[in-house]
């Protein structure tokens, strides 16, 4: 199937709207409705064809080329700060293990509810919690991640993307 730059497509085994940014045979760089870019095989793309009719299904309306700002409330978020978890009174040597346990439970709930993107707030600090969270994520097939929102103090969160067709519980 021939594809063109700017064309609206879907991905096999994934949900969402994508636009083709670049084509480098046998791959294409696509952008989702949230502005994230992915490299995918051309064979996993499907052209989106508008359907005409008198009934309008809002879920089928194509997104515009402008990138929408993600509403923070639309992505499930876990704040791993001790005060947010209600565990600020436990000994320091148990704190990291407790936070990672909360992270596992949160991710399992998100997988059960079929959330494809989640945000984990670990804070900036010295990077110990960030490293532990990312080690947990690296151990799972079907999980990819990258830095979340950048602030003046640095990157204090990790955006997790879940491919439901490949993931198992933590």
The number of domains in the chain is: 2
CATH number at residue 134: 3.30.1370.110
**159 touches 119 (CB < 8 A):** yes
Boundaries of domain holding 16: 8-49
pLDDT of residue 37: 83
Give Cα separations from 70 to 92, 117, 139, 148 (angstroms): 35, 11, 27, 12
Q: Residue 30 region, left (φ>0) first, then alpha (ψ -120 to 50), else beta?
A: beta
pLDDT of residue 150: 61
Averaged pLDDT score across all residues of the chain: 80
- The Cβ of residue 30 has, within 10 Å, a number of other Cβ atoms equal to 26
pLDDT at 53 over 60: no
Residues 81 and 144 in one domain: yes
Average pLDDT over residues 145-164: 79
Residues 83 and 44 in one domain: no
pLDDT of residue 10: 84
Give Cα separations from 81 to 88, 113, 128, 146 (angstroms): 8, 24, 13, 19
Q: Which two tokens stand for residue 136?
A: 């947990």
pLDDT of residue 1: 67
DSSP 25: T
Residues 111 and 147 in one domain: yes
In 2-48, alpha helices (H): none
Q: Is residue 27 part of a domain?
A: yes
Residues 130 and 79 in one domain: yes
Residues 37 and 89 in one domain: no
Residues 28 and 86 in one domain: no
Residues 38 and 120 in one domain: no
pLDDT at 75 over 60: yes
Q: Is residue 15 part of a domain?
A: yes
**142 touches 111 (CB < 8 A):** no
Residues 156 and 92 in one domain: yes
Q: Is residue 60 part of a domain?
A: no
pLDDT of residue 50: 66
Residues 43 and 78 in one domain: no
Q: Is residue 58 part of a domain?
A: no
Residues 13 and 82 in one domain: no
pLDDT of residue 73: 52
Name the residue with higher pLDDT: 85 or 68: 85
pLDDT of residue 69: 42
Tens-place pLDDT, residues 93-134: 889 999 999 999 999 999 999 999 999 998 887 889 999 999
Residues 28 and 76 in one domain: no
């Amino acid at each position: 199937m021939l594809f063109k730059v700017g064309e609206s497509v879907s991905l096999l085994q994934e949900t969402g709207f994508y636009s083709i940014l670049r084509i480098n045979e046998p791959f294409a760089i696509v952008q989702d409705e949230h502005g994230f870019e992915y490299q995918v095989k051309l064979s996993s793309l499907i052209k989106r064809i508008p359907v005409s009719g008198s009934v309008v299904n809002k879920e089928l309306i194509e997104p515009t080329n402008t990138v929408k700002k993600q509403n923070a409330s639309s992505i499930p978020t876990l704040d791993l700060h001790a005060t947010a978890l209600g565990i600020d009174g436990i000994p320091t040597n148990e704190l990291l293990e407790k936070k990672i346990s909360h992270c596992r439970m949160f991710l399992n709930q998100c997988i059960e509810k079929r959330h494809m993107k989640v945000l984990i707030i670990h804070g900036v600090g010295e990077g110990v919690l960030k490293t532990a969270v990312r080690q947990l994520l690296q151990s799972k097939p079907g999980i990819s991640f990258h830095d979340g929102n950048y602030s003046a103090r640095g990157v204090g969160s990790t955006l997790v993307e879940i491919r439901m067709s490949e993931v198992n519980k933590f």
